[in-house]
Amino acid sequence: MKKYIPILFAVVLAASCNVLDSALDAPSQSAYAEDVVFSNYTLAEYNIFGIGEVCGHTNSYRGRIHLFYGMNTDLETYSSNSAGSPDNALESVEIRIRMAEYNDAPNNTQMSTATNAYNELVTGIERANLCIRGLRAYGDVENDPDMAYLLGEALTYRAFYYFELIKMWGEVPLRTEPVSGETIYIGKADRDEIYKVILADLDEASDYLYWPDEKPQTVRRDRMNKAFAKGLYARVALSAAGWAWRPDEGKVNTGNDGSLRLTTDPELSAAVLYPKALQHLKDVINSGSASLASDYTAFWKKFNNSEHLAGVPEVLWVIPFSDSRGRWNYTHAYPHTAGGPWITNNSSRGGSSLPTANLWFKYDPNDSRRDLTVVNMRWNGEDQAWELRGAVNYWFWGKYRYEWMIDTPYNGGNDDGIKPIVMRYSDILLMASELAAYEGELSNAQNYLAQVRNRAMAGKAATKYVAPSALTLGSAASDGSGMETDHADPTTILGAIFQERALEFAGEFLRKQDLIRWKLLKTALDEERDDIEALATMTGPYAAYAQYATDRETEGRQFKTYPLYWKEDHAHQKIVFFGLDPNEIGKTPADYSVTEPNGWKVQERYISNEAFRNSTTGNYTYNCLYRNAFDDPYPRSVWPMYAATMNAMQGALVNDYGYAQF
């Protein structure tokens, strides 16, 4: 009996890849036998595009995953963290606060839907399975490299989606064949088994895929390529061999509470996976197919103008939104109020996620990433000017800017067309540095890290960073535990990587998974809480500000405030401020006086503990990076299976981790 498959037209990529015209010439049947579809390159390619099409669905990457997963870390927070009750009603903003604060629930109304993010990713996997089966059977992949390339894309998509599922849900059902009547209702598999499938898929895909720019298929970065597949292998391997909150061995899908532990599977040990992962990364480095952009700021200008899809060797793969799909800047750009020239329908947009209050202070003053990544401004449409936005607790992402969307300006609607980057070459280098350290290759580890650091410093001397050439191996060992020991020691290679990955990828939401696999999620969040409190109270490393602070009283509470001087720089589309860098503390700008301010304005209460206090509850937001009954983010670092999914699976799925059953 012949198998039939619907044609999944290239909704996402058709317009940008110029395949729509040929699609219109294709036969008009709504379904074809698999032997027809997967023996024809054009028809098979349409189905590959269909795998990526699920990324554009609202409950997938368009409007849910990139906002909900990744908060809260020692770099990134959800903007509406109100320090309110941890038992907020499960509605809209409160739901997002609870998810950010590691306090989710199965009846989350934004996630418990028939088309929730979990179901969207599973849909992508089903489409990938159909393509994999068809291409293996009819694609002649042994003799046709282009058909083999399509198989490599399908395998990489399946690996990517499964890794995303593990990050968010931990254990999920494992399917490597299209769903049949016998496999509709199956329980969760141990994530170790899923990891093995992912790694095998990526190993195989790496043999089939073309390098970036090697063939027409890989000129654009919304198509899979060999460099990304190899980089994804390393990313997955680091997590598979790393720490995670997971059910006790043999207790998956039983309602087990779980614990923080490593795998017990010898095939997934660091000793086995790390050398393989490092070799994949060395393959990318030695291929010459990818490289760092020379200028960090220029790179992000290209990103915002959608010039990163081709001709930018640092980009390895992006989420394949269409040119009018996705809510990246809509969500993460620094805020613009209504009335600006870059949001044509007078909407207010941006600012749904924030850098942590102390992130700016973690950078070296000469680091070109600092003032680009972390900004404390917004566009005021009423005044038609850039202005300081609040106190030290309000920073935003300067990487993401509406005014840099020149060729494809944002129209103010629910989509901006920005295609978020999944992997950059700098990640290849920093993963290689980490793995080389674990393998005892100190000089390689130093060299890989130095390339990222040198681009950031742009020839300027660092005052806060230890030179890569001076770093030691420290506790780096193949058991994967070295980061826990060394993360606070900047003289070690792992301590430097802990720092460098933060500074390089802030606002790109890689940090949560890094902290989880390093066994540092709770540690880093607790250290972050303490450091922000020190900033707010001007103690510890921030005590120099207290010497020039003013004592104030509010409602019987004594606190200190420190001022900031700022002014708009309209020509450069920003504000400039004075008073935070070490050589500026307690001083005033050279051209400022009370009678002749020369455009400078003074925010008197810029650094203040009161900025972090919720006036209703009295809570301080730095105490709210995580809040749950466990007093620990790890037991809620994976989401529950939501009620709608549980009910649809008719008892096949059981919620682990102490989540409620439905």
pLDDT in tens, 442-490: 999 999 999 999 999 999 999 999 999 999 999 997 666 789 999 999 9
Count of beta carbons in the 10 Å neighbourhood of residue 289: 20
Residue 346: pLDDT over 90:
no
Q: Evaluate whether residue 571 is within a structural domain.
A: yes
Across the chain, what does the average pLDDT equal?
Answer: 92
Phi, psi (deg, nearest 5) at residue 387: -145, 160
Q: For residue 174, is it left (φ>0), alpha (ψ between -120 and 50) or beta?
A: beta
Question: Where in 194-352 does DSSP place strands (E)?
Answer: 244-246, 259-261, 315-318
Place 7 in a pLDDT band, splitting at 50, 70 and 90: very low
In a domain, 512, yes or no: no
Q: Assess whether pLDDT exceeds 70 at residue 24.
A: no
- What is the share, in percent, of the chain residues with pLDDT greater than 70? 93
Lowest mean per-residue pLDDT among 17-21, 346-350, 400-404: 17-21
User: What's the domain count of the chain?
Assistant: 1
Q: What is the pLDDT of residue 4?
A: 55
575 located within any domain:
yes
Q: What is the pLDDT of residue 404?
A: 96
**Nearest Cα to Cα of residue 111 among 78, 79, 63:** 63
374-375 and 353-355 strand pairing? unpaired
Q: Is 378 helix (H, G, I), strand (E, B) or coil?
A: strand
Tell me which DSSP letter residue 403 carries: G
Position 17 confidence tier, pLDDT thresholds 50, 70, 90 = very low
Cβ burial, residue 485 (10 Å; 0-12/13-18/19+): middle
Quick check: 9 pLDDT over 80?
A: no
Average of per-residue pLDDT across 514-526: 98
| Reported confidence tier of residue 12, pLDDT bands at 50, 70, 90 | very low
Q: Is the pLDDT of residue 492 over 90?
A: yes
Residue 289 has pLDDT above 60, yes or no: yes
pLDDT given at position 85? 52
Which residue has tokens 């190899």?
230
pLDDT attached to residue 533? 97
pLDDT band at 13; cut points 50, 70, 90:
very low
* CA torsion through residues 466, 470, 475, 479, sign: positive
Q: What is the mean pLDDT of residues 369-397?
A: 95
Task: Single out the residue of 286, 252, 458 nearest to residue 371, CA to CA.
Answer: 458
Q: What is the mean pLDDT of residues 624-643?
A: 96
How confident is the model over 339-358, as a mean pLDDT?
87
Contact yes or no for 642/122 (Cβ under 8 A): no
Q: Which helix (H) or strand (E) holds 608?
A: strand 601-608
Structure tokens belonging to residue 189: 């598999």
- 71 pLDDT more than 80: yes
Asked if residue 551 belongs to a domain, the reply is yes
Whether residue 318 contacts residue 462, with contact meaning beta carbons closer than 8 Å, is answered with no
Average pLDDT over residues 111-119: 93
The whole-number pLDDT of residue 553 equals 87
Per-residue model confidence (pLDDT) at position 349: 87
- Between 200-209, 280-289, 456-465, 546-555, the lowest mean confidence (pLDDT) is in 546-555
Residue 390 has φ and ψ, to the nearest 5°, of 75, -155
Q: Is residue 585 within 8 Å of 579, Cβ to Cβ? A: yes
Output the pLDDT for position 14: 30
d(CA 156, CA 231): 11
Asked whether the predicted pLDDT for residue 5 surpasses 80, the reply is no
- Mean pLDDT score, 619-641: 95
Give yes or no for residue 82 having a pLDDT over 90: no
Assign 2 a pLDDT band (cuts: 50, 70, 90).
low
| 582 inside domain | yes
pLDDT of residue 94: 82
Whether 550 maps to a domain, the answer reads yes
Which tokens go with 610? 């009161």
> CA-CA distance, 637 to 658, in Å (whole number)?
12
Please give the pLDDT value at position 25: 39
CA distance 435 to 272: 12
Give the pLDDT score at 479.
61
Q: What is the pLDDT of residues 575-587, one digit of tens each?
A: 999 999 999 999 9
Q: Helix H segments across 396-506? A: 425-438, 442-457, 482-486, 493-505
Mean pLDDT of 612-640: 92
**CB atoms < 10 A from the CB of 180, how many?**
8
- A 10 A CB-CB count for 633 gives 25
Task: Evaluate whether residue 579 is within a structural domain.
Answer: yes
Residues 6+ apart with CB under 8 A from 452: 292, 426, 429, 430, 500, 504
Higher confidence at residue 452 or residue 84?
452
> Which pLDDT score is estimated for 3?
65
The tokens of 619 are what? 């809570």
With a cut of 80, say whether residue 519 has pLDDT above it: yes
Q: Determine phi and psi for 564, rounding to 5 degrees.
A: -130, 135
Mean pLDDT on 245-250: 97
Radius of gyration of the chain (CA): 25
Q: How far apart are CA 55 and CA 66, in angstroms?
A: 11
- Average pLDDT on 281-296 reads 98
Domain residues for the domain of 608 are 544-612
pLDDT of residue 81: 58
- The reply to whether 580 falls in a domain is yes
Helices (H) and strands (E) in the chain, counts: 23, 16
303 Cβ neighbours under 8 A, 6+ residues apart: 399, 418, 421
Q: What is the DSSP letter of 379?
A: E
18 pLDDT tier (thresholds 50, 70, 90) = very low
